[in-house]
Amino acid sequence: MELTVLGKYGPYAQPGGATSGYLLESGASAVVMDLGAGTLARLLARRPPETLDALFLSHLHADHMSDMLTLRYYLSGKPALKVFLPMEKPCPELELLRACPAFELREIAGLDERVGLFQVRSFAMTHPVPSYALKIREGGRTLLYTADSTLNDNWAPALEGADVCLMDAANPEGLPGPHIPVREGAGLVAGSGAALWLTHFSSVDEGPAVRAASEVCPEVLAVEEGRTYRV
Ligand SMILES: [Zn+2]
C-alpha cells in the first residue's frame, strides 16, 4: 500500500503547509485518514474524493477535520461518503458533520472491519477529546497511525505486528501536554521493530523531533508533504 502525505503539521499549518491528512491507496482501494486544513486541495490533486472507500477522522480537533467543512460542498449532489469518527462525546464539530447529507457517519470506536482492500482496526488513545489510532493491514503489510495521543496501555497492542508507525511528533521536548514525548514514543516503536515515520510537526524545524527519536530508534523518517511512500 502507498501512503501520500497530504498534510503533516499540527495544531496549525506552517507557511505553505497543511495540517494532518493522509491518503492510503492500494490498487483500486483508497481511504483517507484525517482531513485537516489545506489537505482537500492536495487530495483533489491526487484523486476525486468520491472514489474513496471511506474517510477516517481520528478525532475532532480542527487540525484533523477542518477541511470536512469544505469537502461537503464538493460532495454536494454526489453519493454520501462513509466517514468513521468518534461519536461518543457530543461536540459542535460532530453536530456540524451530522448535519451534512454529504457524509454517512459511522462510529470509529471498536472498529475492526474490511474497508475496500484494507483491514482497519481502531485503538482508543488518550487526548483531551476521544482520539483513535488506526491499524491498517493490506497485502501482508501493516501501518499504525497513532493519531494524537499521550502514552497509554493501548500503544503496545496497537504496535504489535506493525511494519510502519506514523507517529504524533508534536511534542519533541517531552514536556507535559496532550502529545506523547517523541523520545518515549520512539523507544516504544523501536522495541516493536516497526519503522518510525514522524509527522504532525508543531514547528517548521523538525530537527528536535528527529534528533530525539534518533537517540532511541535506528530507523527514523520525517515525512514530507506531497510525497508518496510505500508502506
Ligand atoms: Zn492534532
Q: Does residue 137 carry a pLDDT above 90? A: yes
State residue 35's pLDDT score: 98
Q: Domains of the chain: which residue ranges?
A: 2-230
Q: Are 37 and 58 in contact (CB under 8 A)?
A: no
**Mind listing the pLDDT tens digit for each residue in 175-207?**
888 999 999 999 999 999 999 999 999 999 999
Percent of residues in the chain assigned helix, strand, coil, to nearest 5: 25, 30, 45
Which of the four pLDDT bands, split at 50, 70 and 90, describes residue 219? Answer: confident
How many angstroms separate the alpha carbon of residue 168 from the centre of ligand 1?
8
How many angstroms separate the alpha carbon of residue 77 from the centre of ligand 1?
30
| Distance (Å, whole) CA 206 – CA 222 | 8
How many angstroms separate the alpha carbon of residue 103 from the centre of ligand 1?
22
How many angstroms separate the alpha carbon of residue 36 from the centre of ligand 1?
9
State residue 155's pLDDT score: 96
User: Judging by beta carbons within 10 Å of its beta carbon (0-12, 13-18, 19+), is residue 182 exposed, middle or buried?
Assistant: buried
How many angstroms separate the alpha carbon of residue 159 from the centre of ligand 1?
20
Which CATH code of 4.10.1240.10, 3.90.79.10, 3.60.15.10, 3.40.109.10 fits the domain covering 2-230? 3.60.15.10
Ramachandran assignment for 161, one of left (phi > 0), alpha (psi -120 to 50 degrees), beta (any other): left
Look over the chain and give the mean of its residue pLDDT values, rounded to a whole number. 96
Q: Does residue 159 carry a pLDDT above 90? A: yes
Which of the four pLDDT bands, split at 50, 70 and 90, describes residue 70? Answer: very high
How many angstroms separate the alpha carbon of residue 49 from the centre of ligand 1?
22
| H helix count then E strand count, the chain | 7, 14
How many angstroms separate the alpha carbon of residue 88 from the centre of ligand 1?
19
Q: Does residue 166 carry a pLDDT above 90? A: yes
Spatial CA neighbour of 166 closest among 138, 184, 142, 191: 142
How many angstroms separate the alpha carbon of residue 214 from the centre of ligand 1?
22
Q: Does residue 173 carry a pLDDT above 90? A: no
199: CB partners within 8 A, 6+ apart: 5, 8, 20, 22, 166, 167, 168, 169, 222, 223
Which of the four pLDDT bands, split at 50, 70 and 90, describes residue 139? Answer: very high
**Mind listing the pLDDT tens digit for each residue in 74-115?**
999 999 999 999 999 999 999 999 999 999 999 999 999 999
- Number of Cβ within 10 Å of residue 226's Cβ equals 14
Q: Does residue 174 carry a pLDDT above 90? A: no
State residue 212's pLDDT score: 95
pTM value is 0.96
How many angstroms separate the alpha carbon of residue 141 from the centre of ligand 1?
25
Partners of residue 31 on adjacent β-strands: 24, 54
How many angstroms separate the alpha carbon of residue 227 from the centre of ligand 1?
20
Which of the four pLDDT bands, split at 50, 70 and 90, describes residue 22? Answer: very high
Spatial CA neighbour of 142 closest among 160, 127, 154: 160
Q: Tell me what the mean pLDDT of segment 5-16 comes to.
A: 96
